[in-house]
Amino acid sequence: MGAWGTGIFADDNAADLRDDYRKLIGDGVPGPQATDKLIAQWAPQGDPDLEPVFWLALALTQWSCGRLEARVKEKALGVIADGSAILPWAGGPDERKRRTVLEAAKQKLESPQPAERKIKKKVLATCDWKRGDLIGYRLLTGDYVVLRMLDPFTDQGGTYPNCELLDWRGPEIPAAGLPETIPVRELTDYGRGKRFMIIPLGKRLSLKDRLRRLDLKHALDENYSRVPRGQPNATRVTSWKDFDEFLELSFGIS
């Protein structure tokens, strides 16, 4: 976690806080209660690194939603006035840029906020597939390919499947299933690899006629396709919307 620029939201904590607030409002939590929840959850008081980030991010998020609270505005303007919001940049090459950002934030917070606007409830992605599950996917040609579930990935957008593609294709999936020794296809582009994550990007699609969760499962070794925590595990990201194109470009399947 950390800042990657001088902008208020060029910071992981600020971006997460913005998402947290919007989610609470979208879930129907009244603004002041949402603020109380976030203060209790984040506990910024007395943390010289977190306090400026917290109050500025919360104040600007509330302002953009038409829900800026006086207590939050006061705190945000306070971290600008007392210098704590500039401290990490003081004496550095980006100090001037940061001062410009803070001045713009101050002007915005002191200006009339927009009318309160409705924040839609955030619908989180879900995935109930279990490790080793086999999933049939019907191609546009009518043939099937089979995905094997690895591990789910969860972030603030929900839970997504990490999968691999078995080296099999056919008009019907054998009732007896596919052997656990069947090879796994390797991606043919972008550094190869085998793992890919599928996210529900774009308009929600109906896949009920193309996606089949099979009553079949492979027993995967505990360490199969896993790396120690903290180490990167190369994974391609695609979406159901683009999945047919992904199969063609990355596996040569159409």
Q: How much is the pLDDT for 204?
A: 52
| pLDDT tens-digit map of 151-204 | 999 887 889 999 999 999 999 999 888 999 999 999 987 667 899 999 986 545
Within a domain: 22:
yes
Within a domain: 118:
no
Q: Name every residue whose Cβ is closer than 8 Å to that of residue 100 and which is 6 or more positions away in sequence.
A: none
CA distance 100 to 16: 23
Q: How much is the pLDDT for 66?
A: 96
Within a domain: 90:
yes
In this structure, are 162 and 66 located in the same domain? no
Q: Which of 110, 125, 154 is the last residue of a domain?
A: 110
Mean pLDDT of the chain: 91
Q: How much is the pLDDT for 227?
A: 87
Within a domain: 121:
no
In this structure, are 17 and 85 located in the same domain? yes
Structure tokens at 231: 């180490």
Q: Give how many domains the chain has, as a whole number.
A: 2
Would the pLDDT of 68 be above 90?
yes
- Whole domain around residue 197: which residue ranges? 133-251
| pLDDT tens-digit map of 84-132 | 999 999 999 999 999 999 999 999 999 999 999 888 887 788 899 999 9
CA distance 177 to 170: 12
| Residues 50, 99 contacting (CB under 8 angstroms) | no
In this structure, are 52 and 158 located in the same domain? no
| pLDDT tens-digit map of 24-50 | 999 899 999 999 999 999 999 999 999
Q: Is the dihedral of CA 204, 196, 4, 158 positive or negative?
A: positive
In this structure, are 151 and 239 located in the same domain? yes
Within a domain: 53:
yes
Within a domain: 221:
yes
Q: How much is the pLDDT for 122?
A: 77
Q: How much is the pLDDT for 1?
A: 47
pTM above 0.85, yes or no: no
